[in-house]
Amino acid sequence: MPRATNNPASKQRRKRVFKAAKGFRGGRRNLLRQTLEAVDRSMAFSTAHRKKRIGDFRRLWITRINAAVRQYDLSYSRFIHLLDAKGIQLDRRQLADMAVRNPEAFGALVKTLV
């Protein structure tokens, strides 16, 4: 009886791992053990950095809102407090976009709060 290997499944698994390592350099691209470690590590970093990107954008939006609000002699925290007190439901992303793309409308919003 011939020896039975699981060659098709093994080849498919290796092919999937090497495909995920596309763009890697050296042994991290074409040696199985190094590739497995590199791909595992890159997946962990991609998850963490997706979470980090959310915070990065939030910080950017806050900076843009703060810069726009300072022109009207108002601090960011006071502006957010006034929005909350008036019951205006605009998130930071929308506010930052308005401040950059439509400063007149943003100014009108600030003046209604003050």
pLDDT of residue 114: 82
* All domains of the chain in start order, with CATH: 15-113 (1.10.1900.20)
For residues 66 and 76, the answer to whether their CB atoms sit within 8 Å is yes
Per-residue model confidence (pLDDT) at position 44: 95
DSSP 8-state symbol, 60: H
- Which residues in the chain come in under a pLDDT of 50? none
Cα distance between residue 21 and residue 16, in whole Å: 9
Q: What would the two tokens of residue 41 be?
A: 């590590």
- Over the chain, what is the mean pLDDT? 95
pLDDT reported for residue 76: 96
pLDDT at 4: 82
pTM of the model: 0.74
Asked whether 69 and 83 are in contact (CB, 8 A), the reply is no
According to the model, what pLDDT value does residue 1 have?
Answer: 77
